[in-house]
Copies of this chain bind each other. A is one copy, B any other.
Amino acid sequence: MIIVKNPEKKDWASICERPSVPQQNLQSLVNKVFAKVKTSGDKAVANYTKQFDKVVLSELRVPETEIQKAIETVSKDLKKAIQLAAGSIQKFHKAQTPQKIEVETASGVVCWQEARAIERIGIYIPGGTAPLFSTVLMLAIPAVIAGCNEIVLCTPPDKNGNINPAILYAANYVGVTSMYKVGGIQAIAAMAYGTATIPQVNKIFGPGNQYVTAAKQHASQLGVAIDMPAGPSELLVLADESANPAFVASDLLSQAEHGADSQVICVVTSEKLIAEIGEKIEQQIKVLPRKDIATQAINNSKFIFLHKDQDCINFINEYAPEHFIICSKKEDFYIQNIRNAGSVFIGNYTPESAGDYASGTNHTLPTNGYAKSYSGVNLDAFLKKITFQKITPKGIQNIGPSIELMAEAEGLQAHKNAVTLRLKNLEND
């Protein structure tokens, strides 16, 4: 890891900079696939699946028999683990259910806000080596709590046309309404436009590679909302002498194994922790199956030593980490003063992987400093809030003259008229 001691404030911005991911220009490919899926629907989806995933499918939709078979395949222990995690995620997201907010803003003027579920949502689950059934839980559970009518899942098939059984089990267990063997740009295009088989959705959630990310960006310009811009995962650990160096090392490595581009930062207020944690990393990394990936990520990662807690929190807020672990005697100071982070893990017995799977918080979180302006996925992400207002005759008499003046000052005469007409009508009553 790179060691930075007492960096000057003017250098913080460059220390916080994420390595720029070489962006292929995928726009023309995305445009092409979207255009084909728009005009040819399922046929285009099947063709791209053949081209990109090297598999010819008899049907795109996962049949009920395959789901039932998956349920039988998944081990009893893994099922129990998934159920425990689902229970925690349910509890925490259900508690986020918004209440109706009602205010009489002026006499006779009642305004209120009510939440409504987004009707149809799409969940994208990447294929590849890691079958991310945990992400199925994180996205489908709040969608069910919100009351979304349709919860559509797309995930690429393997070369034999199969989906990992744990993904199908999790999706079925939490209430996904239909599942499709489609991945990549064509999956996002299918959910954006709808095909004969795959429903059109109002918002698309879920992680993915650069093709999927570019496709989601494109979909967002067509009026389909997306959860958030995606980037490589990242973790910042704040540690003082109360931290357990082996635990900190294990957390840093759990982040590092995600990918060579994963971001790992360790901010310490005790200089000797750098050597102690570094040593534990060396020990632990040796036995990891994803050792090569983790090593690359660790080599690019940074220890930052700063004397004062106030400097630490200022730096952390500037970095705006996706995951933020606090192992400090002064944890309350950090909890109170953290402004920019996705999810925060407190104390020696709260590893990041708890939040990745089973504590109950959501693991779909803003990366790349976006925690300065975005929340992670939560129940709100599956809801829209609609405002309502009801004004009595007395109410429009109270606020009407102000509206008339303001509309006139903005040069909007018809806006004024709509009030004037009503006020005159009341005068004549």
Hey, which bits of chain A sit against chain B, CB under 8 A?
A: 77-78, 80-82, 84-85, 87-89, 91-92, 95-96, 101-103, 105-106, 109, 111, 113, 116-119, 129-134, 166, 202-203, 217, 220-221, 223-225, 229, 244, 246-247, 250-251, 253-254, 256-258, 284, 288-290, 294, 335, 338-362, 368-376, 378, 380, 383-393, 395-396, 399-403, 405-407, 409-419, 421-422, 425
Nearest opposing residue in chain B for A369, CB measure = B223
20 A-B pairs within 8 Å (CB atoms) are namely A77-B405, A84-B402, A91-B103, A106-B358, A109-B360, A130-B410, A133-B410, A134-B410, A250-B421, A253-B418, A254-B418, A258-B412, A284-B417, A338-B386, A344-B389, A345-B388, A352-B415, A357-B402, A376-B387, A378-B387
A105/B81 in contact, CB under 8 A: no
Contact A388 B84 (CB under 8 A): no
| Chain B residue at minimal CB-CB distance from A391 | B350
Separation of A244 and B220 alpha carbons in the complex (Å): 40
* A391 CB to nearest chain B CB (Å): 4
Closest to A120 in B: B372
Bound CA span A414–B345, Å: 17
Asked whether, in the complex, the Cβ of B389 is within 8 Å of the Cβ of A345, the reply is yes
- A92-B111, A422-B247 known; A343 and B403 CB under 8 Å? no
CB proximity of A137 to chain B, nearest CB, Å: 9
Q: How far is the CB of A330 from chain B (nearest CB, A)?
A: 14
- Quick check: A409 and B247 within 8 Å, CB to CB? no
Q: Is the CB of A406 within 8 A of B357?
A: yes
A409 neighbours in B (Cβ, 8 Å): 78, 131, 133, 166
Once the chains are docked, how many angstroms separate the CA of A370 from the CA of B225? 8
What's the Cα separation between A135 and B131 when bound, in Å?
A: 47
Q: Are B101 and A373 in contact (CB under 8 A)?
A: no
Residue of B nearest to A115 (CB): B375
**Given contact pairs A119-B340, A349-B391, a sample of 11 additional A-B residue pairs in the complex whose CB atoms are under 8 Å apart:** A85-B406, A88-B106, A133-B406, A225-B370, A225-B374, A246-B421, A253-B417, A346-B389, A349-B396, A353-B403, A371-B384
Q: B105, B133, B254, B399: which contacts A415 (Cβ < 8 A)?
A: B254
**Lowest 6 CB-CB distances: which A-B pairs, in order?**
A105-B360, A81-B402, A225-B373, A88-B105, A351-B418, A250-B418
Contact A414 B250 (CB under 8 A): yes
Q: Are A360 and B111 in contact (CB-based, < 8 A)?
A: yes
- Inter-chain contacts of A351 with B (CB < 8 A): 396, 418-419, 422
Q: Check A354–B202 contact: CB distance below 8 A.
A: no
Chain B residue contacts of A402, Cβ below 8 A: 80-81, 84-85, 357-358
Q: Which of B77, B370, B399, B412 contacts A358 (CB 8 A)?
A: B399
Contact yes or no, A414 B257, CB < 8 A? yes
Asked if A417 and B254 make an inter-chain contact with CB atoms under 8 angstroms apart, the answer reads yes
